[in-house]
Amino acid sequence: SLFPGFAPMPGQPAFYNTARQTWLVFRYDSVQRVLQEYTTFSNERGGLDPLQKKSSSAFERPNMLSMDPPRHRQYRNLAASAFTPRTIAKLEPRIIRIVHALLDRVIDRGEMDVIDDLSYPLSITVIAELLGVPASDQEQFRRWTEDFFQITTPEAQQAQQELGSYFQHVLEQHRREPQDDLITALLNAEIDEHKLTDGELISLCSLILLAGNDTTRNLIGNLLLCLDAFPLAMEQIRANPDLIPSAIEETLRFLPSVHTAPRLCIADTELDDQQIKAGQWVMPMLASANRDASYFPDPDVFEINRSPNRHLTFGYGIHFCLGAPLARLESKIAMEILLTRMHDIKRVGNILLQPLVSPVIYGVRHLPITFTRTS
Ligand code: HEM
């Protein structure tokens, strides 16, 4: 395969995977229904996860992602104002400066690693500044993130413990010295006239830190992977950079950096003629839904002009990704600046692509490219 470790199964009916004890769901309609129908498919895990059986320090308390209505809305609202398209648009000048500074470091070398030199430092710096944690801790964040998304390993457990202690310390610092950042705002926020507990704040901050960096880092990586695999698409966006946003949407559809958003079935139901029972785990497979031929003509063609393109990579319904405007803006700016500063972008072909070890995230560990600088 062009993309090692990536094998969606579009159009298949749901089946029960006995080894993992979960239902896997592939069809677009069914995936959409699982994501949307929270009265049957719940996000509340009671500290349990289908892949990862133990609860742990950073996520001991629930956050919006592990809540159903009506609580979900109240908790989501606390962070939502920081992520509206309008608020996010104000970050544009800062994102442009970060991208230029990162490219300044490599522009004379004629080669770079898209992940190490651009997409990771960009996404972690933006989310760290927004939250209010030092971007200089980014190597530590990277280790925690990669370990966390392995989900089932002892390293994943360890990462959550360490993340929990880290944010406990960060909360105490922010209480002593309030800043103009999201953590300070969350410390003062109230639901039904109550402040959030430390456990709730730690869980929310950990969610934003983890969700805000790995997903976007791999979106930018996967975009360059797709453009390398489909040189015609690269020529099209060079000729017309206005196509960058739709090339990003097509990357989200074609090679999504997030693969599933687990649910717990809480009421017996029928799906794809299968009987799903309360208490069983259900995994809607986003990459498979995105290749469903009944929604996407020629689903295996990477078509940057595709319209409509209603991929499910940011989820669907009440849990629709809060960070979507940020992910879209960061990747758009990164690609625009890459194209203005670099010609002849080529993947270093003799280096084997190594997929990240994760049942949830798809991306590559490193993506070396060569280029020539524009004058
Ligand atoms: C939710 C994907 C970037 C924060 C989600 C969900 C998906 C997703 C599939 C739904 C999960 C569910 O239904 O259970 C992605 C992808 C991204 C991305 C593919 C980038 C390419 C970000 C960024 C942030 C973020 C940059 C920044 C903070 C969140 C949060 C939720 C969420 C807080 C939970 C929303 C809720 O439960 O109401 N994301 N995400 N994501 N995402 Fe993202």
CA of 304 relative to ligand 1 center, distance in Å: 23
pTM, rounded to two decimals = 0.95
**8 A C-beta contact, residue 283 and residue 302:** no
pLDDT of amino acid 202:
96
Q: Tell whether ipTM is more than 0.90.
A: yes
Asked whether residue 258 is assigned to any structural domain, the reply reads yes
Rounded average pLDDT over 323-341: 98
The percent of residues in the chain predicted with pLDDT above 90, rounded, is 85
Query: Ligand 1 site: residues with CB under 6 angstroms?
Result: 35, 43, 64-65, 76, 207-208, 211-212, 215-216, 219, 257-258, 261, 313-315, 319, 321-323, 326-327
CA of 161 relative to ligand 1 center, distance in Å: 22
Q: How many Å apart are CA 66 and CA 44, to the nearest integer?
A: 5
pLDDT of amino acid 4:
84
Atom of ligand 1 nearest to the CA of 318: 38
Least confident of 50-54, 169-173, 264-268, 278-282: 50-54
Which residue, judged by its Cα, is nearest atom 35 of ligand 1? Answer: 319
pLDDT of amino acid 51:
56
Instruction: Show the tokens assigned to 319.
Output: 């849990």
Domain, as residue range, for 266:
15-373
Q: How many Å apart are CA 4 and CA 206, to the nearest integer?
A: 29
> What is the full DSSP assignment across 307-351?
SS----TT--GGG--TTHHHHHHHHHHHHHHHHHHEEEEEE-TTS
Rounded average pLDDT over 39-46: 88
The pLDDT-based confidence of 7 (bands split at 50, 70, 90) is confident
Least confident of 59-73, 144-158, 315-329: 144-158
> How does the average pLDDT of the chain come out, rounded?
93
**Residue 271, beta-bridge partner list:** 274
Which residue, judged by its Cα, is nearest atom 26 of ligand 1? Answer: 212
Rounded average pLDDT over 111-115: 97
CA of 78 relative to ligand 1 center, distance in Å: 15
Total of domains in the chain: 1
Q: Please indicate whether residue 47 or residue 8 has the higher confidence score (pLDDT).
A: 8
Atom of ligand 1 nearest to the CA of 123: 26
Distances (CA, A) of 74 to 80, 105, 187, 192: 10, 43, 15, 9
Rounded average pLDDT over 343-365: 89
Asked whether residue 103 is assigned to any structural domain, the reply reads yes
Angle made by CA atoms 235, 324, 71, in degrees to the nearest 5: 165
Which residue, judged by its Cα, is nearest atom 17 of ligand 1? Answer: 215
CA of 163 relative to ligand 1 center, distance in Å: 19
The pLDDT-based confidence of 284 (bands split at 50, 70, 90) is very high
Asked whether residue 6 is assigned to any structural domain, the reply reads no
Closest CA to 78 of 187, 195, 186, 226: 186
User: Could you tell me the CATH number of the domain that includes residue 181?
Assistant: 1.10.630.10
CA of 320 relative to ligand 1 center, distance in Å: 7
Residue 5 has pLDDT above 90, yes or no: no
CA of 258 relative to ligand 1 center, distance in Å: 9
Asked whether residue 221 is assigned to any structural domain, the reply reads yes
Assess whether the previous peptide bond of 154 is cis (omega < 30° from 0). Answer: no
Rounded average pLDDT over 311-316: 98
CA of 371 relative to ligand 1 center, distance in Å: 32
- Pocket of ligand 1, candidates 215, 254, 310: which has the most ligand atoms within 8 Å of its Cβ, to mutate? 215
pLDDT of amino acid 350:
76
CA of 340 relative to ligand 1 center, distance in Å: 29
Q: How many Å apart are CA 66 and CA 31, to the nearest integer?
A: 18
pLDDT of amino acid 1:
64
The percent of residues in the chain predicted with pLDDT above 70, rounded, is 97
Residue 203 has pLDDT above 70, yes or no: yes
Residue 283 has pLDDT above 70, yes or no: yes
Instruction: Show the tokens assigned to 58.
Output: 């950073």
pLDDT of amino acid 349:
80
Residue 65 has pLDDT above 70, yes or no: yes
The pLDDT-based confidence of 94 (bands split at 50, 70, 90) is very high
Asked whether residue 312 is assigned to any structural domain, the reply reads yes
Which residue, judged by its Cα, is nearest atom 43 of ligand 1? Answer: 321
The pLDDT-based confidence of 50 (bands split at 50, 70, 90) is low
Asked whether residue 3 is assigned to any structural domain, the reply reads no
Asked whether residue 252 is assigned to any structural domain, the reply reads yes
- Pocket of ligand 1, candidates 33, 225, 321: which has the most ligand atoms within 8 Å of its Cβ, to mutate? 321
Asked whether residue 183 is assigned to any structural domain, the reply reads yes
**In sequence order, what are the residues at sequence separation of 6 or more whose Cβ sits closer than 8 angstroms to the Cβ of residue 112?**
106, 118, 368, 369, 371
